[in-house]
Structure 1
Amino acid sequence: MPVTSVESDAETLTMTLVADFAVGPERLWAVFTDPRQLERFWGPPGWPATFDAFDFRVGGHAKYHMTSPQGERAGGAWEFTAIDEPRGFEVIDSFADDNGDPIEGMPSMRMVFTFEATPEGSRLSNVSHFASADALEQVVAMGAVEGSTMAMNQLDAVLHGLREFAQGKGTQLEILDDQHVRITRLIDGPRELVWRAHVEPELMRQWMLGPDGWRMTVSEVDVSEGGRYRIAWEPEEGTEGEGFGFDGATLLVDEPRRIVQTEHMTGTDWPSTTNDLSLYEEDGATLVTLLIEYPDATTRDAVLSTGMVDGMEKSFERMERVVLA
């Protein structure tokens, strides 16, 4: 993981994040000063950012919002106070309302980004300066340490490009914490078709089958927000196993970039998970990212022990071979 430390200091009223990357400072500069690239990592997993404005000049402002799997929004605003290309820049960082205006009563902080060369590449130092100990404590209590760590640990995929970062690695699993895992897979095909493969029943039946020897017997899908879905599988003749299925509801749709759904194993009292699927296209390839929220670590481990990730890889291979060919 790129982040090497995140420390808060009550004496100096600062919170400092340090992360190391295998690219030069110029590449870091380019990522942090391009809103389209910032959107890919600035929000922590499950809360992706959208920059609605980005006026990169001293005195200019940036406005963004992050959206939760349930559709909740949290806004932020930057005022650029110093720019020293490509070594770094400074902003006044504020919590913002739906109009992008700072929220009265919420802390603002001076945030300093510094990019410096290292023998291995470059180092990011992100230092937030607070006006009071209460303001520092409030931001830390809101999860700033955990959130900033998870956000910056998403940056490698942006710095290196999708094909360099993920091609040939298959389906990758990351355990983020007791409740969250992230699964990624690079698909060699356009985002629009990958999206359709995930939401159109006739395409789902062609690839979403797990290991060979299974067929999808139910594919009732309503991907409108608030809509319900139900899918089920049965083993083909000669294949061992018992049929099973999932049902749930669609919470959020941002076609063709993101869909969030609950998932429950039909006919069981297992708790539901929240599955946050996002698609990002670059150079004709699409990065599929699935963030799964479990109720607890026990449920997480029980589901992962079923061989779910191996089954997903078989399905993704079939998608490329059958749907995208």
Structure 2
Amino acid sequence: MAVISTDKNPEALTLTLIAEFDAGVERVWQLFEDPRQLERWWGPPTWPATFYKHDFVPGGRAGYYMTGPDGEKAHGWWQFTSLEPPRELQFNDGFADSDGNPTGELGVSHATVTLEPVGGRTRMTILSTFESEEQLEQMMQMGMEEGLKEAVGQIDRILAEHANA
């Protein structure tokens, strides 16, 4: 399992996930840069993602939906606020309606993804920051922490496929 740890900090209004992968930073960056690779792991295995928009530039937007086991669709959006290839990306994240418009439901969170080389491997840190303790708790109750661990846990398989190609 690639995930090393998760830490929920209600005082700081954050959830931090740390994972390590047997691949270089540039290769791991591609998992965010390429929407076809991103949708193979963003979302837990039972709620796979489909990215129908992915404007991977500062100020650009991504639109996606995750499809549950019963066919239910949960729509979301990202707005990229900062990209520093291949080391860091930041984006605002929220729920959307079926047309991709932000709903404001449960507010907006902010993610900072940092990639750093560690002894021939890459350490990925995902820091999610919330607007309030209530929002953080609502997201935890929805299964965000476990879902993120399951999602990131799918990355090793994708990296192994490309390493053997």
Normalising by structure 1, report the TM-score.
0.49
- Counterpart of 1:117, as a letter, is P
Equivalent residue for 2:155? 155
The answer to whether the Cα contact below 8 Å between 2:94 and 2:104 also exists between their aligned partners in 1 is: no
The answer to whether the Cα contact below 8 Å between 2:41 and 2:48 also exists between their aligned partners in 1 is: yes
Equivalent residue for 1:104? 104
Q: CA deviation at 1:163?
A: 7.8
- Counterpart of 1:121, as a letter, is R
Equivalent residue for 1:115? 115
- Counterpart of 2:16, as a letter, is T
User: What CA distance in whole angstroms lies between the structure 2 residues aligned with 1:50 and 1:84?
Assistant: 24
User: What CA distance in whole angstroms lies between the structure 2 residues aligned with 1:46 and 1:11?
Assistant: 31
- Cα deviation 1:44-64 (Å, max 9, x = unaligned): 011110001000111110000
The answer to whether the Cα contact below 8 Å between 2:87 and 2:115 also exists between their aligned partners in 1 is: yes
User: What CA distance in whole angstroms lies between the structure 1 residues aligned with 2:56 and 2:23?
Assistant: 23
- Counterpart of 2:96, as a letter, is A
- Cα deviation 1:212-250 (Å, max 9, x = unaligned): xxxxxxxxxxxxxxxxxxxxxxxxxxxxxxxxxxxxxxx
- Counterpart of 2:61, as a letter, is H
Equivalent residue for 1:28? 28
The answer to whether the Cα contact below 8 Å between 1:95 and 1:102 also exists between their aligned partners in 2 is: yes
The answer to whether the Cα contact below 8 Å between 2:77 and 2:93 also exists between their aligned partners in 1 is: yes
Normalising by structure 2, report the TM-score.
0.96
Secondary structure of the corresponding residue to residue 78 of structure 1: strand
Structure 2 gap ranges (5+): none
Larger radius of gyration: 1
User: What CA distance in whole angstroms lies between the structure 1 residues aligned with 2:104 and 2:131?
Assistant: 15
Q: CA deviation at 1:145?
A: 0.8
> Does structure 1 residue 62 correspond to structure 2 residue 62?
yes
Equivalent residue for 1:16? 16
User: What CA distance in whole angstroms lies between the structure 2 residues aligned with 1:57 and 1:163?
Assistant: 27
User: What CA distance in whole angstroms lies between the structure 1 residues aligned with 2:59 and 2:6?
Assistant: 28
The answer to whether the Cα contact below 8 Å between 1:88 and 1:115 also exists between their aligned partners in 2 is: yes
User: What CA distance in whole angstroms lies between the structure 1 residues aligned with 2:51 and 2:58?
Assistant: 18
> Does structure 1 residue 46 correspond to structure 2 residue 46?
yes
* Higher RCO (C-alpha 8 Å, min separation 6): 2
Q: CA deviation at 1:101?
A: 1.3
Secondary structure of the corresponding residue to residue 161 of structure 1: helix
Equivalent residue for 1:129? 129
Equivalent residue for 1:145? 145
Q: 1:22 to 1:162 in 2, by over 3 A?
A: closer
Matches of residues 198-217 of structure 1 in structure 2 within 5 Å? none
How many residues in Structure 1 have an aligned counterpart in Structure 2? Answer: 165
The answer to whether the Cα contact below 8 Å between 1:53 and 1:63 also exists between their aligned partners in 2 is: yes
Q: CA deviation at 1:88?
A: 1.1
- Cα deviation 1:120-157 (Å, max 9, x = unaligned): 41100000011111111110110011100011000011
Matches of residues 1-325 of structure 1 in structure 2 within 5 Å? 1-161=1-161, 164=164
Q: CA deviation at 1:162?
A: 6.2
Secondary structure of the corresponding residue to residue 99 of structure 2: coil
The answer to whether the Cα contact below 8 Å between 1:21 and 1:120 also exists between their aligned partners in 2 is: no
Q: % of aligned pairs identical?
A: 44
Runs of 4+ in 1 over 6 A off after TM superposition: none
Q: CA deviation at 1:19?
A: 0.2
User: What CA distance in whole angstroms lies between the structure 2 residues aligned with 1:113 and 1:106?
Assistant: 21
